[in-house]
Structure 1
Amino acid sequence: MGVALYTALLLVVREHVIFMPSITVLGTAGMKLMNFLPLIVCLAVLLCLERRLGPAELTGVRRVVAADRALVLVTGGAVLLVGLAAHGWLNMPTATAAGRNVLFLTGLALLVRSRFGAAVAASVAVGWLFLTAAAGLRTPQDPYPWAVLLEPPGHLLAAVATIGMTLLGVLALGHEPPRR
């Protein structure tokens, strides 16, 4: 459901830029609406992972952690394919970067979830997005290296950071804190 909503909104917002003078440090810097769409998929994945039966999964014979990892990787792959298709067919280059950002935010959220739980993980993902929106630009078109979410598609540092964060997040699956 998250990927379908993401895809539909991707087609609606396209490459539209909004100006957020009260949020961004530079004030005049525009942000593409597409930069906010990765939260939909990231939070949907977190919700799916939290809707589980812990005791039944512990005693079951199925490899639940492997299924969870497959869910994350298949969802990320689907979003990347949507971004590449939108880039190629509809001339929306930022769609590829939005797909990359889904993987980065999801990996970050999964990593935080493994230590602090899903509520904190969702907050960190949203916070990271708004931190990059508020303070991630040196100039209107030049993001800081740590602001991976604002980098253009095909940026090598952003790709490496995304791969690393996604791998860390996927490996962190199965190490969730105990439920209270």
Structure 2
Amino acid sequence: MLVEFEEYLIDAIHEKYAWRICDFVVSNAERLKRYFPKTLEQNLTPDLSKYFVEKKLKQYKSQEELVFVLKEKENRTVIGLVYIKKIDWKVKEAELAYCIGYQYEGKGYMTESVRWLSDYAFTELNLRTLKLIVHKSNFGSIKVAEKCGYLWKRTLFNEHKPPNESPLDMELYERT
């Protein structure tokens, strides 16, 4: 466990979370299909989640990509995921991506998690710049970015291609 808050905790991905990640993804499939389609397709069954976790553990160990789980303290249910991805160790920058279960939205958990993991990335990983890429309609994510000290930088045209949709312009937020 990395950090414990009052209602939940943040932990690095671990093989013991495969089933719980599958449950999280399947129960939030509608929320994840547009902005986390790869995470969704890689966790639709327990077997797929097992392979997903194995891959992410290898990436974590090589520090290519770091995945963290948010889980309730009481019953250990996975309630969200945070990725530190696209890590460029030469320029010391990375992107954060995050998702939370529908029943936990609006409780401040993601703001607290992004704030803590951002500080972790700066102090423990020695990164200099963190990026968040969000759609302008995702008011919750924009609020998280702003509350965590990220500043809007620019619109990234045709940045994200959801399944069966035209590419979307996305907003880039950064914190240094």
Question: Whose helix fraction is larger, Structure 1's or Structure 2's?
Answer: 1
Higher relative contact order (CA 8 A, sep 6+): 1
Structure whose alpha-carbon radius of gyration is higher: 1
TM-score, normalization: structure 2? 0.30
Question: Whose strand fraction is larger, Structure 1's or Structure 2's?
Answer: 2
